Amino acid sequence: MSKIEEALKKAKQARGNSETTASSSSEVFLEKQPEYTRTRFQEVNPEQVEANRIVTLSDKSSHVTEQYRMLRTQILQKTEGQGDNCLMVTSSVDGEGKTTTAINLAVAIAKEVHKTVLLVDADLRRPSIHKYLGLTPEQGLSHYLLDNVPLEDLLIRTGVEKLTFLPAGSPMANSTEILRSTKMQELIQEVKERYKNRYVIFDTTPLLQTADPCVLAQFMDGIVFVVQAERTPRKEVAEALKLLEGRNVLGVVMNNFSTPEKNYRYGT
């Protein structure tokens, strides 16, 4: 059991919750974390994780966690063995649950026996992964892209086994051009090819409000599209999906805010 899992277990016990956090066989960790020698260590904060619905870490036996495991399984089925390991999460408009989905999906994949995951905060406008995980990175992707800071100095080991995080860095108002740059393409190539059993998951901005996801979509092997159920009009969903025409949309995650027991549904 990793430190974060122990901490979560303790927090749960302190709240008098007797639910166990026993690992299933799929959660046996066989493969080591990718070894970038200078990678920093910052452990995710159990309280933030729980408050921000990262259920794959805070509530392993919940129905929603199970839904994320199903999402993982379907995505692995569609991508495994084809070198399709670079995925991004997007949606039509803001607040539909992209970041929540990206983190939970990353954790669910990292819990697979043979997979490591690099989670990249490519929402350079309003980065939030670090907040949801309770981390306080000093630098990130923007420093790689603008200041040539080496990738190794920016990656964070999270205390969640097999999950490494590349924070966004300094927020910027117009990130489209920098995401279109050769340097960004080099980064994607580097993270994609360095370890063959690794998935790289990019959290991005909304399609109808920013050009960033359209730019990033060109370099991705697959796209996970999040829809906030009962909020986003069909017309907007159709408009956003049109922008992804010709790209490999792996599936649509229906994120249901109002009915917790039916939180997530996945379809193609």
Ligand X SMILES: Nc1ncnc2c1ncn2[C@@H]1O[C@H](COP(=O)(O)OP(=O)(O)OP(=O)(O)O)[C@@H](O)[C@H]1O
Contact of residue 161 among ligand X, Mg ion, none (CB under 5-8 Å per partner type): none
Given ligand X, Mg ion, none, residue 91, with its beta carbon under 5 to 8 Å by kind, binds ligand X
Tell me: does residue 130 bind Mg ion (CB under 5 A). Answer: no
CB of 211 to Mg ion, least distance (A): 16
CA distance 181 to 163: 26
The 10 Å Cβ neighbour count of residue 37 is: 5
Tokens of 8: 């979560």
- Give the span between the Cα atoms of 97 and 148, in whole angstroms: 31
CB nearer to ligand X: give 159 or 206: 206
123 binds ligand X (CB under 6 A): yes
Query: Does 100 help bind ligand X (rule: CB under 6 A)?
Result: yes
212 binds ligand X (CB under 6 A): no
* Rounded least distance, CB 256 to ligand X, Å: 6
Q: Using CB under 6 A, which of 206, 207, 213, 217 touches ligand X?
A: 206
- Taking the least distance from each CB to ligand X, the nearer of 110 and 122 is 122
Residue 87, token pair as written in the block: 């995925």
What is the C-alpha separation between 118 and 107, in angstroms, rounded? 10
Q: Does 53 bind ligand X (CB under 6 A)?
A: yes
Indicate the residue type of 185: Q
Q: Which does 67 bind (CB under 5 to 8 A by kind): ligand X, Mg ion, none?
A: none
Amino acid making up residue 69 = R
Query: Using the rule CB under 6 A, is 142 a contact of ligand X?
Result: no
Cβ 52 to ligand X shortest distance, Å: 5
Distance separating alpha carbons of residues 184 and 170, to the nearest angstrom: 16
Rounded to a whole number of angstroms, the minimum distance from the CB of residue 160 to ligand X is: 18
Q: Are 205 and 212 in contact (CB under 8 A)?
A: yes
The helix/strand/coil state of 121 is: strand
Cα distance between residue 47 and residue 190, in whole Å:
33
Q: Say which DSSP state 153 is in.
A: G
- Using CB under 6 A as the binding rule, whether residue 79 contacts ligand X is answered as no
175 lines the binding site for ligand X (CB under 6 A):
no
Which among Mg ion, ligand X, none contacts residue 194 (Cβ within 5 to 8 A by kind)? none
Asked if residue 150 binds ligand X (CB under 6 A), the reply is: no
Q: Does residue number 91 form part of the binding site for ligand X (CB under 6 A)?
A: yes
CB-based closest residue to Mg ion: 99
* Backbone CA torsion sign across 199, 203, 209, 212: negative
181 touches 188 (CB < 8 A) = no
Q: Exposed/middle/buried for 41, CB within 10 Å: 0-12, 13-18, 19+?
A: exposed
Contacting residues toward Mg ion, per CB under 5 A:
98-99
Q: Which residues bind ligand X (CB under 6 A)?
A: 52-53, 91, 94-100, 123, 126, 128, 206, 255-257, 263
